[in-house]
Amino acid sequence: MFFRAFAKLARAIAPLPPIEPDAIRDLGRIESFPTMSDTAVRVIGLANDPDATIAGMAQVIRRDGVVAAAVLKAANSALYRGRYPTEDVLDAVVRLGMRGCTSVVTAFCMKGHYRHPTPDGQAACDGLLRHALFTANIAARANAAADLGFKGEEFTAGLLHDIGRVILCVRSPAGFARADPMTFKEDPRVLAREREMVGLDHCEVGVRFARANKLPESVSEAILNHHFPAADGEHRRLTALVALADRLANHVQREHALKGYAADDCPGFRVLQSRLRPPAAEKLRAAIPGAVVQALRATRHMLRLTAG
């Protein structure tokens, strides 16, 4: 018993193994980052354009047969299917709505980034995908329930908030596992360990990915500051919502229940509370349990849609 405990302590205090140099050599160069499909980037742009139309979004999706098939699959699923199935992309986009369509396209197109050739690496990527979808769906449901006014950017920012973790995991699963045990605990040391091993933490890696793909600045800011929602920025409300959703997802994935969650202890909620009128802040607080339940269902549904 003593020797097992001693070995465990020795491993805990052992120097961190460096990430393979080849895996991180290009992290400082924007052009080295993986790219999102042109369709996904254009759909996200339309979702953030107040003048965009459903017909315009359908036109973009029609040009990409693989994405069009995914949208039709979603529109014909049990969650959205009407009386009859549809094979028309425009009808599918109408059924999903612009927000729903953006969520489906973004989730589907990002799935390819969560792949790794080794079983351990793929298991970590699968866990990161579940967390990303859960966070995105919590943000979307909380936004709708509390009338926060976002038009879909909350789902995109929630889905991509930890994309830096994915990039580190794919490039070096062994180093990633040492720096980030994925316990879903709020551990600020993870960022410090990443910086020690790589020179960048996953927030900085993630924002470089966002800028390499020319994503909206609001999404980039949420990726960069989701652990520090009180940081100065033009999009602090969105960042705070993503931070709130991330904390909620961590709590539920760690505890397998919402019991014990305290909104007032969450930096994201405190920032939102300071920027909302008291009735709106209380509406958001009251919406949290329902948003989590709805997000769990939506996440399971999206995982089934993107499987394969």
Complete domains list, the chain, with CATH: 36-109 (no CATH), 114-308 (1.10.3210.10)
Determine the pLDDT at residue 138.
97
Rounded mean pLDDT of 255-260?
Answer: 93
Does the pLDDT at position 154 exceed 90?
yes
Structure tokens at 223: 């990726």
Read off the pLDDT of residues 86-96 as tens digits, 9 standing for 90 and up: 999 999 999 99
Rounded mean pLDDT of 134-141?
Answer: 96
Closest by alpha carbon to 209, among 236, 170, 155?
Answer: 170
Q: How many whole angstroms separate alpha carbon 92 and alpha carbon 260?
A: 40
Contact yes or no for 132/297 (Cβ under 8 A): no
Contact yes or no for 207/30 (Cβ under 8 A): no
Residue 146 φ then ψ, to 5°: -100, 5
Rounded mean pLDDT of 69-92?
Answer: 87
